[in-house]
Structure 1
């Protein structure tokens, strides 16, 4: 294991069963809510992948791993990205929470041996989406928004579920527009989100 990541994962005995191992890591680091969230996202991503004819196993893998870098503290994320050659935008450096999407792709590759580029890409843009997004990117993005990590149901859920029953792009538009309408209050309007919005509208 890469020494940069070793301290976060070395105490966990990996079994090779992804769901069990991810749950063990997050529980060990006292993130039971994230563990529950990724379990729900994994199931939803698989369901959507089946619905839209995408890679169901890859979608489920991305769902399990999309928030795995939550175990890396915010204060370490810029340094960790630099260690792995991951570009950090100026706004990301000021709001390192958003770097978890890029770092989760790194952890998926380095710790969980995920080599499928499509899966890694989906993990790497699951919060913001991006322009030129693949079907798998969109599925993981929407699964994360349907099974959000806050208490209760998200305010956009009914509209999103209606849209996703028919078309994944329409579902993306629902959430991107929800965020766009609130962009003035966002701590950081990520350029990938802005580009995805511009592309789909």
Structure 2
């Protein structure tokens, strides 16, 4: 494990309870709101996974883990990514908040011992989604947008829930399309988001 990750855990005594360990890790590193958000997203991911016959246990774990990189402030994330040998896209360099998904993926593997590649990949694209997204990718992506970490209700929530009754793909596309319609106001348009938008738009228009 890299030193910058070891430093985050050296004062923490982990147990065999993964959910408790993740919550403890985040609260110990001064991220109590993120700790609660991760547990909420895990619960929501499990619910959505059951709706669409995805692996609900994997979905819940991915939800618990998705934002563990919140322990690194945005200003530090590019440097952290370099130290962890994460590929950095120009858009991520311009808007470091967005690379937290990739950092969380590495932390899930190295701190919490996650070896299931599907869980790791879902964590690694939960903010932007990606082309050829797996069922679990979409479950976590949608769960994070439903159990969002802002105050009040998400402005897209009614449409997302309505479209989720059609399919998981329709639900995922609702949020991506919400962003796409406002892309001029976004700090960056991540290339993974663009690829996911184009692919999902094609899929929902064929239904």
State if a TM-score over 0.5 links the two structures. yes
Q: Which residue of 2 aligns with 1:166?
A: 166
- 1:84 Cα deviation after fit: 2.7
TM-score, length-scaled by structure 2: 0.93
Work out the CA distance in 2 between the residues paired with 1:181 and 1:58: 32
In the alignment, is residue 145 of structure 1 matched against residue 145 of structure 2?
A: yes
Aligned pair 1:25/2:25, yes or no?
yes
121-130 or 26-35: which moved more?
Answer: 26-35
Aligned position for 1:113:
113
Rounded to whole Å, the distance in 2 between the matches of 1:7 and 1:133 is 33
Measure how far apart 1:165 and its partner are.
2.5
Q: How far is 1:86 from its partner?
A: 1.5
- Shift in Å at residue 18 of structure 1? 1.6
Distance in structure 2 (CA, Å) of the matches to 1:188 and 1:64: 26
Aligned to 1:175: 175
Shift of 1:152: 0.8
Tell me the secondary structure at the aligned position of residue 188 of structure 1: coil
Specify the SS of the correspondent of 1:148.
coil
Deviation for aligned residue 1:160:
0.7
- 1:12-46 per-position Cα deviation (integer Å, ceiling 9, x unaligned): 11112121111111111222211111111000101
Q: C-alpha root-mean-square deviation of aligned residues, in Å?
A: 1.1
Q: TM-score, normalised by structure 1?
A: 0.96
8 Å Cα contact 1:59/1:140 also seen in 2: yes
Structure 1 residue 2: deviation in Å? Answer: 2.8
Does structure 2 retain, via aligned residues, the 8 Å contact 1:129–1:138? yes
> Hey, which bits of structure 1, 4+ residues long, moved more than 3 A?
none
The alpha-carbon deviation at position 90 of structure 1 amounts to: 1.1
Ranges in structure 1 where 5+ consecutive residues have no aligned partner: none
Q: Which runs of no fewer than 5 residues in structure 2 stay unpaired?
A: 202-207
Structure 2 CA distance, aligned partners of 1:10 and 1:115?
22
CA drift at 1:122: 0.2
Q: Deviations over 1:126-153 (max 9, x none)?
A: 0000111001000000000000000011
Distance across 2 between alignment mates of 1:111 and 1:29: 14
Separation in structure 1 between the aligned mates of residue 34 and residue 121 of structure 2, nearest angstrom: 20
Q: Does structure 2 conserve the Cα–Cα contact (< 8 Å) formed by 1:8 and 1:72?
A: no
Aligned length: 201
Counterpart in the other structure of 1:130? 130
Partners of 1:183 and 1:189 within 8 A in 2: yes
Assess if the C-alpha contact under 8 Å between 1:138 and 1:172 holds in 2. Answer: yes
